[in-house]
Each structure stands twice: as structure tokens, then as C-alpha cells.
Structure 1
């Protein structure tokens, strides 16, 4: 059974509402908010130098880049790297996004590059974006439709920002979304936990990484 990392934030009433309203079994009642299809793609959200920073406590990391998360990010990066190796080994396609802030004139600036441990392979797509959602102002939707993708497995950051915005847009475009919770990170622990809770209740499957790997492995057996 998946360990729900947000449980320590819930009151007894919260827990009863989730159970009595059926969110723990079915998710949102207005649409099919949980599920996993037969043609997934992994999407790596904004795991870049200016967001990851040095492998130091976050209060030190922000001294160089105010957006950097330091050790918080690196803990997830290590898990993402292993997860991507697993996905590629099971022939699951992988794509990336990079956020390019308006304050950067050069899209090739070192700050904007994806960190080496999770760097894309030469044949993998990297989509530049200017806003939180990977869908807004990009050709991601066309790419997914062109490749008959029905499920996005989203990793990266931040839980409460770009991951959440992308997850909501993906669900509203008719895709299933799966979130391996150890491969997602945020600078604020409360935002991370609440973001995962909200997405689990309304928009996505939130699972432990080994559960997601079992799902991806099953795709190979079905093909």
C-alpha cells in the first residue's frame, strides 16, 4: 500500500471527509481523475542548474540562486536518475521541459541547463517554456497526440508549481497522470505534501516509485 506522505497534516475530520466522500477510492467525482493507460511517457519538469543548485542545505543554496533547492533537489535527482534508467530500459519514452525566465537573454546559459545526472539522451525532446504548465505556449500536446501517448508520468519540480500546473492541464486534456512521489520535489515541505494530496484527490495517481516502475514494466509485457 502506498505511503501517503501527507497523512501527518490531516485532521481527523479531514480523514473522515476523504473516506466518506470516496476520494481515497475514486478521486474526483466529476471526472475520471485517476488511472493509467497503455502508452505512457515520462515527462521531466525543469530539473535545471538554477533550480537544483549545489548539493548543500537549501538555506545555503539560495545564496547563489534564489530558486535553488540544494539537498532537497539532489535527493530527488538521485531518485529521478535511477527511475529514468529504469524507464528507458523498458522502452518508455522520456521528454523534458526547461523553464526559461524572461530575465535570461541567452537560452543556452549554464543556469538553464538540465543537471548532468538526469540529462536527456540525444534523441529525447526538450521543450522550453515560459510559464508553469508544460502545455502553455508549447507544442507538448501535439507531441503527445502524434505519439498516441495516453498517460504522463511526471517527475521534477516544483510539486506545488510546475508539476501541479502540468498535471492539471494534462488531466483536462484527457490524459491520465501518474506521479512517483519520491521523484518530485518542492522547496517548502508543506507545499510538497499538500500539493501531492490535492493532485491525488483530484487529478492524478500518486504512487511510490517502485509501484510506478511495476506499472511501466507491465507495459513491456503487454506489447
Structure 2
């Protein structure tokens, strides 16, 4: 978040960017790490930001599995005519490529879910909107939601806002989220950290996941 360093002190002086910290019962939310964002030639291809985030997320996913915490994925797919995407698909016509029979909607091989890891299909930016995610996390007594994936300015930001509003401690390892361009990526990391969650280094998340944690 280097380009926004000059604003950090101003935010803190005006009562923003407080630290919420980690809780006791974390879950890992892997948001939309589908091949549409990592495949050259795809209209949604977002290199180098998303491929870099996929690589950085691999040790986090491995640590989460070792720790035995809940791991939940989201993916996105639409009917061929896009009607189940409403205004979102009208605003972002490239989403019409994400039909259920398209290889672009598959989760990337590097972060492929294992047996027992939940995959939630969504239609809109937030992982919470129109899904059972909040109810599932509440039933698991999760208090901390670690978010990785893409895109920083879209689904990560929307999910961070809703996660906070549902009462979860939102943690975003900055190396593990990506976007199409650096400017919206950096601006939204700064804004998430200022208002909705903690944006931290991936090593801080890995150190936390190595601690004894409460699991379902």
C-alpha cells in the first residue's frame, strides 16, 4: 500500500484504521479463484495480479488444512442467457462467458478443493449476497474470516464489507488477493484496512495459523 502511505497517519488521526486483530475460531474463504482470471485469452484474464495471488495463497491454504479450520470456496457461474446475473451481468458483459459448461468456471488447479471443503456458487460480488455463507459460518461458530482470491476491488471488497457487517473479523493477507490493475488493487486494500478489516502481510496470517486454534 505504498502509494497511500501519506494518508495512513491522517486516517488514524481521524479515528479510522483501527486494528481488530484475529479471533479464536478462524475460517479461510477462497474467493473466485477460477480459471477465467488466470487463463490468457479469457476476457476476464487479470495478470499478473491474480496469478500472483494464487501463488501466494498456496501456503495459506496448506496451513489452513494443517490447522484443521473450515475452508470455504466461492465460484461464479450463470445460465447461458445471463438472466440469473441480473444487472451485474449487464454492467459486466464479460461475465456471460461464465456458464456452467465453460472450463473458465473451474477452480484453478493450484488451489483445487479437497473432499469436505465447501464450494458455494454465487451470482454477485459479495460471497454473502444471496448465499448461505453467513449461516454456515455462524453455525460453525467462526469469528475470524481470512479472505484470499480475487478481485480486490470487486468480490474481495464486497465480501469484506459484508463480512464485517455480519460480525466477522475480516483478515486480508495483501499478497493473496489480486486485481486487473494495480491502482484499484492498492486503493481497495487501503480502504478495506481503513474501514472494514485488517490488511496484513501473509507471514502474519501464516504465524497465526500455526498457533493452537479452536476448530469445529
TM over 0.5: yes
2:16 matched to 1:8? no
- Count of residue correspondences: 200
Give the counterpart of 2:23 among 37, 51, 56: 37
- How far 1:105 moved relative to its partner? 8.0
- How far 1:10 moved relative to its partner? 4.5
2:70 matched to 1:93? yes
- How far 1:51 moved relative to its partner? 1.5
Structure 1, unaligned runs of 5 or more: 1-5, 28-33, 54-60
Name the SS for the 2:136 alignment partner.
Answer: helix
Residues in 2 aligned to 1:92 and 1:41: alpha-carbon distance in whole angstroms: 6
2:36 aligns to what? 50
Structure with larger RCO (C-alpha < 8 A, sep 6+): 2
2:59 aligns to what? 82
- How far 1:9 moved relative to its partner? 3.5
1:57 aligns to what? none
1:217 aligns to what? 210
- How far 1:176 moved relative to its partner? 0.7
Residues in 2 aligned to 1:162 and 1:114: alpha-carbon distance in whole angstroms: 15
TM-score by length of 1: 0.83
TM-score by length of 2: 0.85
Contact 1:39 1:219 in 2 (8 A): no
- How far 1:174 moved relative to its partner? 0.7
Residues in 1 aligned to 2:14 and 2:98: alpha-carbon distance in whole angstroms: 49
Cα deviation digits, residues 70-100 of structure 1 (max 9, x gap):
3332221111112101111111221100011
Structure 2, unaligned runs of 5 or more: 83-95
- How far 1:8 moved relative to its partner? 2.2
RMSD: 2.0
Shift in alpha-carbon separation, 1:90–1:67, aligned structure 2, 3 A: same
Residues in 2 aligned to 1:207 and 1:184: alpha-carbon distance in whole angstroms: 11
- How far 1:7 moved relative to its partner? 2.8
